[in-house]
Structure 1
Amino acid sequence: MPLTEIPLCVWRTRGLNLTFRGQTIRYWTAGQGEPLLLIHGFPTASWDWHYLWAPLTQRFRVIACDMLGFGDSSKPVHHHYTLIEQADLQQALLEHLQVDQPVHLLAHDYGGSVAQELLARHHEGRADIASCVFLNGGLFPECHRSLLIQKLLLSRLGWLVARSFGRDDLVRNVTQVYGPCTHPSESALDDCWSLMVANRGTRILHKLVAYVPERATHRERWLAAMQKEGIPLRFINGAVDPVCGAHMYQRYLELIPNPDAVLLPGIGHYPHTEAPTQVLRHYLAFREQALPAPQKVAWS
């Protein structure tokens, strides 16, 4: 049975505000139970989780925010955006909500890199993580296949590309990373565009995309954190994603001991909006198992 979406106009009314280093961060929380932190990707926002929100809040205390520079949060122009600071933000949000028990992570794309930093901090005694599930993302930078728009934003003319970025550019770039039968509707694209242009967000796209080379800087530390025992991990991956699809899945199997991984045929870069029912099923199955079994590789 398809999951019910939450319209963006409704989603926005349910948000709350947190001040983080002088900037306004929009966040959402609902449900009771073990804390589950949802971390969104680039260039969208926490509304990406709206299909999964209601069923997850029936089981867990779910928390999500629009990270600095994204969605309805502040987007300062003269700011150096980093994945490290976004991890600081996630911890500040948990502290604000007085979360005092181990936190489960469900992270997509850019958010997967933030989750990797939190995993590293866990092993360093600076965070308390209970488990982590990754959706499509550049977990291993050597396998990340950047889109042309990302390369242009990283160039010397990135600021100009960002300022000229329009809805047609969003449509062209988003649709090429979706599965062939799971393209977003025009209404969903309108909503994504609304989140991007909130607080004049296109002006900073070239600053946000600096996460691509930043991943390479932290690769060894983050990989070491994923290879250590103690934190159950799962990778749910849309196979036909040209950026982080089946090739990233294969690299995960090569590098992670006893890998627990799920490959979704026909699904692209956004499995939680393209195939939310499958993602929910695989996530809940992961949470229900006491310990990850060796070499769990599934196809669905």
Structure 2
Amino acid sequence: MQLTQWRDSGTFLSIDGQQIFYKTEGSGPTLLLIHGYPTASFDWVKMWPALTSRFRCVTLDMLGFGFSSKAPKKYQIKEQAAVINALMAHLSIASAHVLSHDYGDTVAQELLAQHNENALPFHIESLHLLNGGLFPETHLALPIQKLLLSPLGNLLIHFLNKNAIRKNMHSIFGPNTPPTNQEIDDFWALISENNGHKYMHLLLDYMKQRRKYRERWVGALQNTTVPIRLTAGMADPISGAHMVARYKALIPNANVVELENIGHYPQIESATAVLASVEAFISDGFDDDTFSADALIDESLN
């Protein structure tokens, strides 16, 4: 599916005066997909046909991302969670499995914290995390992210362009799975939609929020009865093998799928492996263990 087709098959919903792009398709148990920074829901396009054949999939472009409203402000993770809660209420969804990536992991951690407090308007059946900054102490931000978050961000943001995005995306994908030219074009189209490239430094405030709310968001993972799996590209320089090691040290009965030689965007770089992991996790009743991607793919094909 092309990016234009993705947009044309989606819907816009006004929430508190802001336009939210979302897409829902399929039937069966609900699967909520939450994207990362700096891209949007289109990140799930390679998995979408297979997932919608089995689940009622719901995804959205969060505030400041993709086709949704963008403004020169610092968006709060709790605000993004509130938007998701409003969307789920609009769709009359009472329970869902959750699949998240990167920035979306942090939003999912806030949703999980609310769930643990019995304050979430829908029930989380399971949580499946992809590469993300689950622990601020292991999040190795790119140099450009650190600069944009600094007092120089207001100046440097004017030099951000597609070539800069291409360079940085190539640095975080796996060695054998670089982004294609079309994928770079799509990333830039989503980032620059509604002048969003001018506000990317403001979206990076989530890194400060991760430090501020570390106890709440890490505690949500440690103190929940919701089944959780982490599927991670181990070659990711931001949140790869070092983050996985920290996850195993801090999370009881850690359920992990390790994708060797895959970088920060496993759902794009190795959609088949991620799809196999998602389906196995839900269909096998959330067994706790550590798996290799190859074993999961072999199992899914047999």
TM-score (norm 2): 0.95
Residue of 14, 18, 25 corresponding to 2:20:
25
- Within 1, Cα distance between the matches of 2:111 and 2:6? 26
Deviations 1:51-90 (A, max 9, x none): 111111111110000000000111012x231111011111
Map residues 51-200 of structure 1 onto 2, 5 A cutoff.
51-77=46-72, 79-100=73-94, 102-127=95-120, 128-200=123-195
Query: What amino acid maps onto 2:75 in structure 1?
Result: Y
Residue of 284, 289, 292 corresponding to 1:289:
284
User: For structure 2, which runs of at least 5 residues remain unmatched after alignment?
Assistant: 294-302
- Within 2, Cα distance between the matches of 1:216 and 1:169? 27
Query: What amino acid maps onto 1:248 in structure 2?
Result: M
- Measured after TM superposition, the shift of residue 232 of structure 1 is 0.4
User: For structure 1, which runs of at least 5 residues remain unmatched after alignment?
Assistant: 1-5
- Within 1, Cα distance between the matches of 2:63 and 2:51? 24
Deviations 1:6-29 (A, max 9, x none): 211211111100111211111000
- Measured after TM superposition, the shift of residue 291 of structure 1 is 4.1
Q: Which residue of 2 aligns with 1:209?
A: 204
- Within 1, Cα distance between the matches of 2:82 and 2:230? 23
Q: Which residue of 1 aligns with 2:252?
A: 257
| Pair 1:275 & 2:245 matched | no
- Measured after TM superposition, the shift of residue 230 of structure 1 is 1.5
Query: What amino acid maps onto 2:100 in structure 1?
Result: A
Query: What amino acid maps onto 1:103 in structure 2?
Result: A
- Within 2, Cα distance between the matches of 1:189 and 1:48? 12
- Within 2, Cα distance between the matches of 1:41 and 1:290? 26
Q: Which residue of 1 aligns with 2:291?
A: 298
- Within 1, Cα distance between the matches of 2:158 and 2:17? 25
- Within 2, Cα distance between the matches of 1:291 and 1:38? 18
- Within 1, Cα distance between the matches of 2:201 and 2:155? 9
Q: Which residue of 2 aligns with 1:3?
A: none
- Within 1, Cα distance between the matches of 2:60 and 2:116? 24
Q: CA RMSD in A?
A: 0.9
Query: What amino acid maps onto 2:138 in structure 1?
Result: C
Residue of 41, 44, 49 corresponding to 2:39:
44
- Measured after TM superposition, the shift of residue 290 of structure 1 is 2.1
Query: What amino acid maps onto 1:189 in structure 2?
Result: I
- Within 2, Cα distance between the matches of 1:147 and 1:255? 24
Q: Which residue of 1 aligns with 2:234?
A: 239
Query: What amino acid maps onto 2:178 in structure 1?
Result: H
- Measured after TM superposition, the shift of residue 228 of structure 1 is 2.1
Query: What amino acid maps onto 2:89 in structure 1?
Result: E
Contact map agreement 2:74 2:205 (CA 8 A) in 1: no
SS of residue paired to 2:172:
coil
- Within 1, Cα distance between the matches of 2:224 and 2:137? 23
TM-score (norm 1): 0.95
| Pair 1:227 & 2:222 matched | yes
Query: What amino acid maps onto 1:211 in structure 2?
Result: Y
Deviations 1:172-222 (A, max 9, x none): 111100001100111110111011110000111111000011111111111
Number of equivalences:
291
